[in-house]
């Protein structure tokens, strides 16, 4: 096999976008990610949960101005997985 396997958790447009976003920042709020990715709330909620379940991100729930506030932060496992994914997909991109 000349092609490294691609982490199926990251090989999804929205999840990859989320992790890519988080790599650049300390943390990000639900609505910020929503806007940057253009996703629907439902889809984003599902994919954030998946990333959390996988240990790629941590999710903190709080309140601000009386409204729920969900904050996401990349976990070490997520960082490693992202770096690994970036390395792996290079094999596919330059023939």
Partner DNA sequence: TAGACTTGTTTATGATATAAACAACAAACA
Partner DNA sequence: TGTTTGTTGTTTATATCATAAACAAGTCTA
Question: What does the binding site for DNA look like in residue numbers (CB under 7 A)?
Answer: 8, 12-15, 29-31, 39-50, 61, 65-70
Q: Which does 41 bind (CB under 5 to 8 A by kind): a copy of itself, DNA, none?
A: DNA
Does residue number 89 form part of the binding site for a copy of itself (CB under 8 A)? Answer: yes
**Burial status of residue 42 (CB atoms within 10 A of its CB: 0-12, 13-18, 19 or more):** exposed
- Tell me if 9 sits within 8 A of 52, measured CB to CB: no
Among 3, 26, 63, 67, binds a copy of itself (CB under 8 A): 3
Instruction: Name which position in 31, 49, 77, 92 contacts a copy of itself (CB under 8 A).
Output: 92
- 46 contributes a contact to a copy of itself by CB under 8 A: no
Those residues whose C-beta lies under 8 Å from the C-beta of residue 37, and which sit 6 or more positions away, are 14, 17, 18, 21, 44
Judged by CB under 8 A, the residue of 36, 41, 77, 80 near a copy of itself is: 36
Torsional sign, CA 69, 19, 48, 58: negative
């Amino acid at each position: 096999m000349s092609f490294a396997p691609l982490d199926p958790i990251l090989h999804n447009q929205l999840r990859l976008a989320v992790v890519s976003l988080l790599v650049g920042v300390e943390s990000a709020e639900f609505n910020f990610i929503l806007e940057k990715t253009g996703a629907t709330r439902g889809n984003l909620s599902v994919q954030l949960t998946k990333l959390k379940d996988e240990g790629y991100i941590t999710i903190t729930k709080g309140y601000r101005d009386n409204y729920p506030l969900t904050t996401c932060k990349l976990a070490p496992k997520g960082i490693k997985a992202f770096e690994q994914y970036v390395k792996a997909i290079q094999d596919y991109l330059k023939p």
